[in-house]
Amino acid sequence: MKLLVLVTALAVSSANSALGVSGPWDSYIQSPTSRVIFPEDIYGSSGNVTLSESNSLAATLSGNGSTVTFDFGRQISGVVTVQFGAATTSGSQLGVAFTESKRYIGITSDRATGPLLDGTLYAPGEPRSTYTFGREFGRGGFRYLTVSTSSDSGVVQVTSISTHFTAAPSTKDDKLRDYSGYFYSDDDLLNRIWYAGAYTVQLCGISASEARASPPEITAGWANNATIENVSAEAEIFVDGAKRDRTPWPGDYGVATLSKVVSLNGDNLLSLRNALVSVIAIQDAKTGEFPYAGTPLGLGYQEAGTNSDTYHLWTIIAVADYTILTADKTLLTEVWDQVHRGFEFTLAKVDTADSLLNVTDLNDWGRVGQGGKNTAANSLLYHALVMYVQLADEFGWSGLIFNGKKFEEIASDLKYAVNTKLWDAAAGFFRDNTTALGAEFYPQDGNVLAVHFNVTDSPERATIISQSLSTRWNEFGAVSPEALGSISPFMTSLEIDAHLRANPGNATLAMEIMRRQWSYMLNNFSNSTTIEAYYYTGELKYPFYEAVEKNLGSYISHAHAWSTGPTASLTLHIGGLNPLSEAGKTWEFVPHAAGANIGRLQTGYTLATGDFSVEWATKNEDSFFSANITTPQDTTGSISVPTFGKSLDSIEISINGNTIWLNGTSSGSGFGVTSGLNDFVTVSKVLKGGSFTILAKEVGTSFATYC
């Protein structure tokens, strides 16, 4: 009777679980137990080195060029302290260098500042002394730390080396592992992927006074003492990457925001709010354009005329996402004039002859050839318009209009134009833009965003794009032609969501690329975090950077929040419990269980309205579906139950013991209108939140049949 036991276990587990408590997922959490972190091992040594027999992490170095490399076992962030033993020669120096990847282990650090070489830090050695580097030299991201000697005279005895963890500064020191969300399944790889994303998000929370310094503020080496402006110096800011750029980049939030929501939302996205405030504050007062990036980098970009129509739109979208996910209306109220001015800036670029946005500020996420009447940019504008129409209702605004035309009309005309002027039926893709060259180029970003933001004019077209995108995968992931052959986890994060939206009853493609690409990333680049990008050959190479300087593999960030999309997708779409408005005031349960190749899953997260949790199980994806979901009481939603392709008249479904579907028709349930399609049977009106036990089986059978 294994199945009956499993169903009972689901109910008991769901009833007893609470967000933030221990569970079987604890072993996947990468966060340290305290802010003082010691290496796990010595990775290697060279030259005249004597390793201690009594202390596996102690070593004595002498002679020029001797090295010891310590391995912290995972990516970390922080300020290093060295303890010197009695045998240390007075006046000696110990070189210290950092790297995220073992490929760049050496006496100099990997690259974090772009045009400058990071070089080596030096700790003065004295017998029985301790040296802690200044806060400005808190390394944003590294796994390997190499110490070295550079003199033939003297001895350096290292008795201890440690790092004070500086990420997530607003988190209490003993609460670093207390995530507000969780995920666990019977697939070890998926658990690793989810928690790598969560830990990456955590590493990307920094103090506003510890951003990356860049030229001309520094002329050599590196430092993390620049200021993210227009917020308090103590504020935590959600930035792009741990090592670099340590700066708010609006486009990144198109992925990173949801990853933070489902994993580390104890602050109700306050660190995102701080980041957005800092970006909006430096809006161009003359044009209304938002900056390509926030401070400290953004002002330099503005002075150089380095602007971006797409990242401008991502800023507008990020403000809307924040508002919807937090139910905090104060931010949008405070910055509405700037956002409205931002809309005017973009809508003035829409060609009234064909209703398409014409991109003139060409910088973007790492692609080439942005510009003109571009599918990706128009998809972003469409989504921004639709989101603010929704928010206008919530805020009680009378209507949003530009040049006498309602936002709804602008969005509708734009969607029609994209589908009539940019679609290539023979290719099964949207073209990049309307130029002759663009008509022969089919980008990943434009096609992904068109599906992701519901710009396609039919479900069939979305499915065609999904299938076409899958033909571009290689053994390492989803190749992006517009990024010169890069594999971009940022864009693939959005592609995963596009596959799920295009194939609501079949998660096969989404899960295949997730497992393939993120498995390669974790196993080859970082066992603990998500990398920024790599090359279609699997190499640590990013053409976006190589165009500036060759051999910049060490510059690639190994903890980049824009690459964490699976963390959100696994919880919100595979788990299936998704907030729709006002921090989950309305929600939907649409589990993408079919094709996921998962037998059992549990996940949950916290929003301002309360805790959301789900646990579901299947048997062979054709026998049964059992789920328990919990939502806050003062909410409403809908519940969809997957059919796994079975005939609707062969399924019996109950919620909390009440039959809602039998013999192909709705049964009196007390939950509202129930309807069936090929992929799901849906109860469209659940008028009050709470706990719901959902069982689905074949008509005329009991669960014992499947034991």
What's the one-letter identity of residue 313? L
Check whether residue 316 and residue 429 sit in a common domain: yes
Residue 13 has pLDDT above 50, yes or no: no
Which pLDDT band, with edges at 50, 70 and 90, does 67 fall under?
Answer: very high
Q: Left, alpha or beta for 376 (phi > 0: left; psi -120 to 50: alpha)? A: alpha
Domain presence at residue 170: no
Which pLDDT band, with edges at 50, 70 and 90, does 257 fall under?
Answer: very high
Check whether residue 115 and residue 74 sit in a common domain: yes
Residue 705 has pLDDT above 60, yes or no: no
Which pLDDT band, with edges at 50, 70 and 90, does 560 fall under?
Answer: very high
Residue 623 has pLDDT above 80, yes or no: no
Which pLDDT band, with edges at 50, 70 and 90, does 547 fall under?
Answer: confident
User: What does the pLDDT average to over 627-654?
Assistant: 95
What's the one-letter identity of residue 364? D
Domain presence at residue 181: no
**pLDDT value at residue 704:** 54
Check whether residue 502 and residue 399 sit in a common domain: yes
Residue 707 has pLDDT above 60, yes or no: no
What's the one-letter identity of residue 404? G
Check whether residue 628 and residue 556 sit in a common domain: no
Domain presence at residue 191: yes
User: What does the pLDDT average to over 397-404?
Assistant: 93
Check whether residue 253 and residue 302 sit in a common domain: yes
**pLDDT value at residue 456:** 99
**pLDDT value at residue 357:** 99
**pLDDT value at residue 436:** 95
**pLDDT value at residue 399:** 85
Which pLDDT band, with edges at 50, 70 and 90, does 669 fall under?
Answer: low
Token look-up 């290719």 returns 427
Over residues 27-63, the pLDDT tens digits come to: 999 999 999 999 999 999 999 999 999 999 999 999 9
Over residues 141-198, the pLDDT tens digits come to: 999 999 999 988 799 999 999 999 999 999 999 999 999 999 999 999 999 999 999 9
User: What does the pLDDT average to over 365-390?
Assistant: 98
What are the tokens at 692?
């719901």
Domain presence at residue 177: no
Residue 379 has pLDDT above 90, yes or no: yes
Which pLDDT band, with edges at 50, 70 and 90, does 10 fall under?
Answer: very low
- Contact criterion met (CB below 8 Å) for 198 and 181: yes
User: How many folded domains does the chain comprise?
Assistant: 3
Which pLDDT band, with edges at 50, 70 and 90, does 2 fall under?
Answer: very low
**pLDDT value at residue 619:** 79
Check whether residue 81 and residue 17 sit in a common domain: no
Q: Which CATH number fits the domain that encloses residue 535?
A: 1.50.10.10
State how far Cα 412 lies from the chain centre: 30
State how far Cα 273 lies from the chain centre: 16
Which pLDDT band, with edges at 50, 70 and 90, does 14 fall under?
Answer: very low
Check whether residue 126 and residue 218 sit in a common domain: no
Counting residues of the chain whose pLDDT is more than 90, the rounded percentage is 89
Domain presence at residue 592: yes
C-alpha span between 209 and 220 (Å, rounded): 20
Q: Is the peptide bond before 127 cis (omega within 30 degrees of 0)?
A: no
Q: Which CATH number fits the domain that encloses residue 610?
A: 2.60.420.10
Residue 664 has pLDDT above 60, yes or no: yes
Residue 16 has pLDDT above 60, yes or no: no
Determine the 3-state secondary structure of 352 from DSSP.
coil
What are the tokens at 401?
């209009």
Residue 581 has pLDDT above 90, yes or no: yes
**pLDDT value at residue 701:** 80
User: What does the pLDDT average to over 367-388?
Assistant: 98
What are the tokens at 576?
């299936």
Based on the number of CB atoms within 10 Å of its own CB, is 646 exposed (0-12), middle (13-18) or buried (19 or more)? middle
Determine the 3-state secondary structure of 48 from DSSP.
strand
- Contact criterion met (CB below 8 Å) for 254 and 318: yes
Domain presence at residue 418: yes
C-alpha span between 84 and 523 (Å, rounded): 35
Residue 369 has pLDDT above 60, yes or no: yes
Q: Which CATH number fits the domain that encloses residue 96?
A: 2.60.120.260
Domain extent at residue 530? 187-563
Residue 322 has pLDDT above 50, yes or no: yes
> Could you give phi then psi for residue 603, rounded to 5 degrees?
-160, 160
HEC-encoded secondary structure of 63-122: EEEEEEEEEEEEEEEEEEEEEECCCCCCCEEEEEEEECCHHHCCCCCCCCCCCCCCCCEE
Using alpha carbons, list the distances in angstroms from residue 393 to 42, 322, 452, 578.
59, 16, 23, 21
Domain presence at residue 180: no
What are the tokens at 195?
């928690």
Token look-up 């349930």 returns 669
**pLDDT value at residue 81:** 99
Check whether residue 25 and residue 43 sit in a common domain: no
User: What does the pLDDT average to over 224-253?
Assistant: 98
Q: Are strands 586-589 and 636-642 parallel, antiparallel or unpaired?
A: parallel
The upper half-sphere exposure of residue 593, i.e. CA atoms within 13 Å in the direction of its Cβ, equals 33
Check whether residue 330 and residue 439 sit in a common domain: yes
Domain presence at residue 179: no
Check whether residue 530 and residue 650 sit in a common domain: no
Check whether residue 356 and residue 217 sit in a common domain: yes
**pLDDT value at residue 398:** 85
- Run of H or E residues at 601: strand 600-607
Check whether residue 77 and residue 146 sit in a common domain: yes
What are the tokens at 559?
């903890």
Q: Which residue has the higher pLDDT, 2 or 163?
A: 163
**pLDDT value at residue 620:** 66
